[in-house]
Chain A
Amino acid sequence: MTTTTPATRRARRWRAVLWGVLGLVALAAVWELYKLVGPADGWLIGAREGVTGSGIRLLPRTSDQAMPHTWEMLARAATPVTRAPGALPLGVVVLLAALVSLGIAALGWLVGVVVGFALALLMLGFRIAERAVLPFVILSQTVPLIALAPLIRNWGSRLEFGAFSWESWMSVVIIASYLAFFPVAVGALRGLQSPEAADLDLMRSYAAGWWTTLFRLRLPASVPFLIPALRLAAANAVVGTVVAEISVGFSGGIGRLILETAVAASSDPAKPWSPILGAVLLGLVAAGFVALLAAFLSPFRRQETAA
């Protein structure tokens, strides 16, 4: 355990930001460098003359069509989406769509975390539940998302009572939570089971019940296992949202925007890159949110050194 002064901590934080920015610059530099030296038509092996799509492409094309300059992407983000009067800049449209997707992903993450945690508690409380539920939890993740999306939309659309009717964004939330709950269920269970026998003996000697032991011992002890699980869940929720938006046909989010702008790629090659970067930004925000959560929970991440 090293004690740090606020000054050194601040310096370390600035250094982290600096490295982050340098990483971005390096990525852009690699992009431009390859574009400069790489063959314009890429490199194919085993291509047959006159047959399009034959052969295996080992190096991607570097034409402006396939790899627009980084500054062109930035410039495109600043110009309006379409030539229609009053159209917003592409970057703004992307950010708005990303915001919609962020809301959906956050909701999916939340549902996933609650469900995952509830399953972990169930498995903790009942041995039999662990044996009965865990295989299905693992099996659930082998179902391809593409197969799942139409099913959920279909089932959802049959739900209708009173003023409530199923909206397509709800399907997206369900699919996002379906991907998010898995790491939480597995991670939380491991964390809740992490206290040693001696710790449990101690709680027993205090005549502490199951719930007291849960709140005073198991929950705090699970935090080091829970943080990586929550981070994975956040990443899964974002991926799930983007993919589900496309397969469910929900418009307004970043996933749909990626699909729409990809259509325009031939005439406007810099355009599809904006929503792709928007999706990346979405993932970063989600990761940042979990990092913030982890900072709040940091007192619980202290590790006991060997006595």
Chain B
Amino acid sequence: MSTSAPQPSAAATGPTPPADATEAVVVRGVERVFTGAKGATVTALTGIELTVHDGEFVSLIGPSGCGKSTLLRLIADLDEPTAGDIRVFGRTARQARIDQAYGIAFQQAGLLPWRSVAANIELPLQLHGVGASARRARVAELVELVGLSDFAKHYPDQLSGGMQQRVAIARSLAESPRLLLMDEPFGALDEMTRERMQTELLRIRAETGAAVVFVTHSIPEAVYLSDRVVVMSPRPGRITDEIDVRLGEAAERGEDLREDTAFFEGVTAVREALHGPQASSAGAARGVDVR
């Protein structure tokens, strides 16, 4: 692994698979090889080592095809690694999924069109047998949290893209998970909505205190949101660098932070990490959004 500057936080845990339940996510030596037609294989991920501490916001950034979404899917147990070990709060990924240890949101809001906003948010609660009155109370809290109290009875087709994504985030928070997995949740939104949603996400995250694994291909987004940015590279998908960008407590980050020098330094650091030592080869960061 070509980790150029390992951060102290990343090296905190030992090399053996820890049963330490205080870490949100521990990924050890994970590899994912896809077998295509006629036996052709594609190595989507190799030698992945990653630890996400409880309450930490970690972004996975990299060009298309670097396996960042695949890594997220492995943590969520929507896919299984061909080698290596993944622990979520000390449990196996599979057990963590069954125990509902995480909430998840995708690039597409993926709301069920026949359910109202409230009914979409309560879907996970309903599936897990939470009583009607408890559900109603929790949904009221969540629509308040994402600022959609007036829209609880609306249907997804009556909402804008940003509002749909807020519903999806509320749904992922329904069971008060200690870990949020987000796969480019703002990728389909326009820039203005996107920035507003980022600030909202920071506020929500400060209120819930959950750890977040956030997949993105936008450098400013990763720097603005994260405590730590994990830089990935394709063919084969691997982690090439980790950059600490703690710009302050999540709750204190405001819009003016986007014009702060610390923010720009973070952006520069991530950009250099993405382009790698061979910064001259422009192809290295293809597909990365440097807005």
A307 near B188 with CB under 8 A, answer yes
Cross-interface CB contact of B104 among A205, A221, A301, cutoff 8 Å: A205
A303 near B104 with CB under 8 A, answer no
Give, as a whole number of angstroms, the nearest-CB distance from B184 to chain A: 12
Cross-interface CB contact of B124 among A199, A206, A301, A302, cutoff 8 Å: A206
Give, as a whole number of angstroms, the nearest-CB distance from B210 to chain A: 15
**A262 at interface by CB-CB < 8 Å:** no
**A207 at interface by CB-CB < 8 Å:** yes
A300 to B110, alpha carbons, bound, how many Å? 15
Contacts of B98 in A (CB 8 A): 207
Cross-interface CB contact of A202 among B73, B104, B156, cutoff 8 Å: B104
Q: What's the interface size class on A, roughly?
A: 20 to 34
Scoring B100, B124, B128 by chain A CB atoms within 10 A of each residue's CB, the highest score goes to B124
B165 near A307 with CB under 8 A, answer yes
Q: Given A212-B127, A303-B157, A307-B165, are A198 and B114 neighbors across the interface (CB < 8 Å)?
A: no
Interface string of A208-221 (1 = CB under 8 A from B): 10001000110011
Contacts of B156 in A (CB 8 A): 302, 304-305
**A196 at interface by CB-CB < 8 Å:** yes
Contacts of A208 in B (CB 8 A): 127
A215 to B97, alpha carbons, bound, how many Å? 21
Interface string of B128-170 (1 = CB under 8 A from A): 1000000000000000000000000001111001001100000
A305 to B157, alpha carbons, bound, how many Å? 5
**Chain B residues numbered 154-212 whose CB sits less than 8 Å from any CB in chain A:** 155-158, 161, 164-165, 188
**B18 at interface by CB-CB < 8 Å:** no
Cross-interface CB contact of B97 among A207, A217, A221, A303, cutoff 8 Å: A207
**A204 at interface by CB-CB < 8 Å:** yes
**B279 at interface by CB-CB < 8 Å:** no
Q: How many A-B residue pairs have CB under 8 A?
A: 67
Contacts of A306 in B (CB 8 A): 161
**A299 at interface by CB-CB < 8 Å:** yes
How many B residues face the partner with a CB closer than 8 A?
Answer: 30
A306 to B156, alpha carbons, bound, how many Å? 10
B111 near A304 with CB under 8 A, answer yes
**B106 at interface by CB-CB < 8 Å:** yes
B114 near A220 with CB under 8 A, answer yes
Contacts of A304 in B (CB 8 A): 111, 113, 156-157
* Cβ-closest chain A residue relative to B109: A307
* Cβ-closest chain B residue relative to A223: B114
Give, as a whole number of angstroms, the nearest-CB distance from B99 to chain A: 8
Contacts of B158 in A (CB 8 A): 1
B97 near A302 with CB under 8 A, answer no
Give, as a whole number of angstroms, the nearest-CB distance from A198 to chain B: 5
**B76 at interface by CB-CB < 8 Å:** yes
Scoring B108, B112, B126, B161 by chain A CB atoms within 10 A of each residue's CB, the highest score goes to B112
Contacts of B127 in A (CB 8 A): 206, 208, 212, 216
* Cβ-closest chain A residue relative to B156: A304
**B50 at interface by CB-CB < 8 Å:** no
Q: Given A216-B123, A216-B127, are A307 and B164 neighbors across the interface (CB < 8 Å)?
A: yes
Interface string of B93-126 (1 = CB under 8 A from A): 0000110101010101111111000000001101
Give, as a whole number of angstroms, the nearest-CB distance from B76 to chain A: 6
Cross-interface CB contact of B114 among A202, A212, A302, A305, cutoff 8 Å: A302
Give, as a whole number of angstroms, the nearest-CB distance from A151 to chain B: 43
User: What would be 21 A-B contacts, judged by CB atoms less than 8 Å apart?
Assistant: A196-B108, A198-B108, A201-B73, A202-B110, A204-B97, A205-B104, A206-B127, A208-B127, A216-B123, A216-B126, A299-B114, A301-B114, A302-B113, A302-B114, A303-B157, A304-B156, A305-B157, A307-B109, A307-B161, A307-B165, A307-B188
Beyond A207-B100, A216-B126, A220-B112, 6 additional pairs, beta carbon < 8 A: A196-B110, A205-B97, A207-B97, A299-B114, A304-B111, A305-B156
Name B's A-contacting residues (CB within 8 A): 73, 76-78, 97-98, 100, 102, 104, 106, 108-114, 123-124, 126-128, 155-158, 161, 164-165, 188
8 nearest A-B residue pairs (beta carbon): A304-B113, A300-B114, A302-B113, A307-B109, A198-B110, A207-B98, A307-B161, A305-B157
